[in-house]
A = this chain, B = another copy of it.
Amino acid sequence: MPTPAPTPAPNPGDTEPVSRRARPAKPPLTRAGIVAAAVDVLDAEGIDGLTMRKLAQALDTAAGSLYVYFANRDDLLIAAYDQVLGELPLPDPDAERTDWRGQLTELLLRAVTVVGRHGGIARVALGTIPTGPNALAFGEAVLGLLARGGVGDQPAAWALDLLTLYVNAAALEHSTYLRRDGDEQSVVATLHATYAALPAERYPHIHRLRETLVTGDGDERARWFLDTMLDGMLTAQHRTGVRPT
């Protein structure tokens, strides 16, 4: 809620007093204020429930007013995504050589949690490469940790792309688990039932792995992914003689 600025002292040259008794002169909207409200609506209603009209209502304005600050709904969603990413604490880039691998793991897990808790906003970052300030700061942090691990330039660049993709896809999946209709357990139970009902002759591997396929929560899978990925990258470097500094 924006609080009206208190008038400090009667300024002689002030052009202010226009006597607007009709309404107590709402302060103008701002991009920041709109984005903050957008995240609130997002959390309450999900990304599909975040409509220009509902957002305007939450801000006590008309839908058309939003177009002064955002070109369209997509533009607004992109801003909301970057706002959400801003909740993610990043490792200090100047910190001395602590455990880069552990830090990268924690950063990745936190990113999935943060993005995944905001009603499917992850969807706007899939299919495009986010370039908002917080997305860039995240990228910079990841590249910094990879560089400290001695990962080469091209692998690091591609790894950033892949990690971003993973974070958003995992976050989106997490979002769907958090929906009203069913928790993670029931989703997993349904999936398991689907696998268990398959004919073993036609789907021998799925049938054999029907338990294994649904084993492990998001954290466990994310850790496995990152470990495997980094092992693979370091193996390749070992082969080509590159060494961590």
Contacts and interface: CB of A to CB of B under 8 A. Distances in A.
Given A166-B165, A198-B136, A232-B235, A205 B123 contact: no
Interface stretch (A5-13, A34-42, A84-92, A126-134): A126-134
Interface stretch (A18-26, A63-71, A103-111, A140-148): A140-148
Interface string A210-230: 001101100001001101111
A136 B123 CA distance: 24
Interface stretch (A51-59, A75-83, A156-164): A156-164
Given A143-B206, A206-B136, A209-B156, A232 B228 contact: yes
Q: Chain A at the B interface: mostly helix, strand, loop or mixed? A: helix
Nearest to A225: B162
Given A158-B216, A229-B229, A231-B232, A127 B120 contact: yes
A165 B169 contact: yes
Contacts of A123: 123, 126-127
Most buried by B among A144, A176, A228: A228
A175 to B, nearest CB: 7
Contacts of A160: 213
A205 B194 CA distance: 46
9 contacts: A123-B123, A139-B205, A140-B205, A153-B212, A157-B215, A227-B236, A230-B232, A231-B231, A231-B232
